Amino acid sequence: MRIGAIEAGGTKFVCGVGNERGSVEDWCSFPTEHPETTLAKVCDYFRDKGVDAIGIGSFGPIDLQPDSPTYGYITTTPKPDWSNCNVVGALKREFPVPFGWDTDVNAAALGEMTWGAAQGLDNCAYYTIGTGVGIGLIAGGKRVHGLLHPEGGHMRTRRHPKDRFAGICKYHGDCLEGLAAGPAIEARWQSPGSELPIDHLAWEIESFYIAESITTTILLHSPQKVILGGGVMQQDHLFPIIRKQVVQNLNGYVNMPETVRDIDRYIVPPGLGQRAGLCGALALGLEALEQAAAASSF
Ligand code: ADP
Ligand code: ZN
């Protein structure tokens, strides 16, 4: 079985081919340019691959309602040229196979549940803290969809007392993404996060905001595992600070072993490492193939 996977990011696209065991046999990556150019490169990549299905985990917001005329579109993104872009439609014309389609973070959450840190669980939260901030959610073994899909990266948090930065979200200013995404760190300190020393105030502030959001997610969604991925989380010294802050925030109210004694195994990096996004898309493609097979056997 050959499954195509596309991690459609605002900065770069990653395309790959893998199998039902989650192993990626081949992949390539290119920068996100104008949709026509980028989607043409995606088609070129898959043309000789003979895939049975394709899964796409995309930056958003995206349309997930199967009966909507704009199903498969990226909708209101501030990214130039990509708003109202029919991603699934453009690829379906070239590849008449089942398509899986969801947000990058919902896909990554599914990948982690299938092959990574959340295996055996049926409820988890997957954060990416990178160019943007997104939170993917699984509940009852299913990716959470509703009116749209969760957009937890745009929720506001309490302010860190030492932080006067206005925030850079184009829609909300100081939402979580506006305060804590990689570009927000860079704008606040005039230096990319990767160049700031680990004892810099930046990391106390960053951990504070991430911990605020995780606390809210625990109270609202009750995940069995919280997985933190994305470029900023390569600063792995943030993990112990975030865990300690979450325990303090909960203050014994959610008094489960996971949120106190076993917090080191509760808030964790992706089990699939840097491949979490691509494997998530692979898991979506696999799911689409299984659903198509089940529908045709009726
Ligand atoms: P994307 O969000 O496009 O999928 P990433 O998850 O790699 O890509 O996020 C890119 C963001 O993460 C950039 O803003 C970059 O400054 C930040 N970043 C990447 N590596 C690091 C690092 N080691 N430390 C801190 N920030 C980083
Ligand atoms: Zn926002």
Q: What confidence tens digit (pLDDT) does each residue in 65-87 have?
A: 999 999 999 998 888 899 999 99
Is the beta carbon of 192 within 6 A of some atom in ligand 1? yes
Structure tokens at 222: 């009750």
Distance 224 CA to ligand 2 centre (A): 26
With cut-offs at 50, 70 and 90, classify the pLDDT of residue 296. Answer: confident
> Residue 79: what pLDDT?
86
**Domains of the chain, start order:** 3-106+274-296 (3.30.420.40), 117-269 (3.30.420.40)
Atom from ligand 1 closest to the CA of residue 104: 4
User: Does any ligand 1 atom lie closer than 6 A to the CB of residue 9?
Assistant: yes
* CB-ligand 1 contact for 193 (6 Å cutoff): yes
**Residue pLDDT, tens place only, 165-217:** 999 999 999 999 999 999 999 999 999 999 999 999 999 999 999 999 999 99
Cα–Cα dist 74/255, whole Å: 40
Residue nearest (by alpha carbon) to ligand 1 atom 26:
232
* Closest ligand (CA of 172): 2
Measured from the alpha carbon of residue 9, the closest ligand is: 1
Predicted confidence (pLDDT) at residue 298 exceeds the cutoff of 80: no
* Cα(152) to centroid(ligand 2), Å: 9
Measured in Å, residue 54 CA sits from the centre of ligand 2 at 30
101's CB contacts (< 8 A; 6+ apart) are 55, 56, 58, 62, 64, 71, 72, 87, 88, 284
Q: What is the per-residue pLDDT for 167?
A: 98
270 lines ligand 1 (CB under 6 A): no
Q: To the nearest whole number, what is the mean pLDDT of the chain?
A: 96
Cα 217 from Cα 152, distance rounded (Å)? 8
Spell out which residues have Cβ within 5 A of ligand 2, the ion.
154, 169, 171-172, 175, 177
For a substitution probing ligand 1, which of 82, 194, 233 has the most ligand atoms within 8 Å of its CB? 194
* Ligand nearest the Cα atom of residue 76: 2
Q: Tell me the per-residue pLDDT of 82-116, one tens digit each, with 9 for 90 and over.
A: 999 999 999 999 999 999 999 999 999 999 999 99
Main-chain dihedrals φ then ψ at residue 210, nearest 5 degrees: -65, -40
**What are the pLDDT digits (tens) for 234-245?**
999 999 999 999
pLDDT of residue 145: 96
Give the Å distance between the CA of 234 and the centre of ligand 1.
Answer: 8
**Percent of the chain topping pLDDT 90:** 95
Task: Check: CB of residue 82 under 8 Å from CB of residue 60.
Answer: no
Cα–Cα distance between 83 and 202 in angstroms, integer?
Answer: 32
Q: What is the pLDDT of residues 222-270, one digit of tens each?
A: 999 999 999 999 999 999 999 999 999 999 999 999 999 999 999 999 9
Which has the higher per-residue pLDDT, 298 or 113? Answer: 113
